[in-house]
């Protein structure tokens, strides 16, 4: 119960840097052509228009959920922030075609670990968009989300968001 008092590491920081999980052009959520994301119904965050077919872990954490269609993954940080990475728009209708998951629910991952690979051209052909929202889904626990002002990000290298829990 009080183990954090005796450990050198102490309690987890209230703040976590969320690195870009995909490489590409940054977009605000308001620019996402889907009201579920643009109106922040699932939560706040940012989006990236990917330039390749790789999703990597945006921080060290635990895989909370990998969708059966492999188009989305939920990951939880040590500070309690929960992030959803949703590859493309209306990609659930692809029923997993063109997606491969490299993790399972309950897995522990390190920043930069490969989570999902996907066929970018197939998504362009069969879905509404390749735009990938990155959403903080437990907004009730969040004190602040600082959004970075980059144009282009490289997966696992640039910070996209800094999330502070209450």
> Per residue, what are the HEC states of 23-60?
CEEEEEHHHCCCHHHHCCCCCEEEEEEECCCEEECCCC
pLDDT digits (tens, 9 = 90+) for 122-144: 999 999 999 999 999 999 999 99
Residue 2: the pLDDT is 45
Which portions of the chain are predicted below pLDDT 50?
1-8
Catalytic positions, please? Answer: 86
Residue 105: the pLDDT is 97
Residue 59: the pLDDT is 98
Residue 150: the pLDDT is 73
Residue 10: the pLDDT is 57
Buried b (16+ CB within 10 A) or exposed e, 148-158: beeeebebbee
- The reported pTM is 0.92
Domains in the chain, CATH or no CATH each: 25-165 (2.70.70.10)
Instruction: Report the alpha-carbon distance of residue 154 to residue 162 in Å, rounded.
Output: 16
Residues in CB range of 3: below 8 A, 6 or more apart:
none
> Mapping DSSP to helix (H, G, I), strand (E, B) and coil, where does residue 75 land?
strand
Residue 159: the pLDDT is 95
Residue 9: the pLDDT is 52
């Amino acid at each position: 119960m009080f183990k954090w008092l005796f450990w050198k590491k102490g309690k987890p920081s209230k703040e976590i840097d969320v690195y870009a999980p995909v490489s590409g052009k940054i977009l605000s959520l308001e620019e996402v052509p889907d009201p579920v994301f643009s109106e922040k119904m699932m939560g706040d965050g940012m989006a990236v228009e990917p330039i390749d077919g790789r999703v990597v872990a945006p921080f060290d954490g635990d895989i909370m959920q990998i969708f059966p269609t492999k188009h989305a993954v939920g990951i939880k940080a040590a500070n309690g922030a929960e992030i959803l990475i949703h590859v493309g728009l209306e990609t659930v209708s692809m029923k997993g075609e063109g997606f491969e998951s490299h993790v399972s629910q309950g897995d522990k991952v390190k920043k930069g670990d490969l989570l999902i690979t996907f066929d970018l051209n197939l998504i362009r052909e069969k879905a509404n968009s390749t735009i990938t929202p990155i959403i903080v889904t437990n907004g009730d626990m969040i004190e602040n989300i600082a959004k970075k002002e980059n144009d282009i990000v490289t997966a696992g290298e640039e910070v996209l968001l800094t999330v502070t829990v209450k």
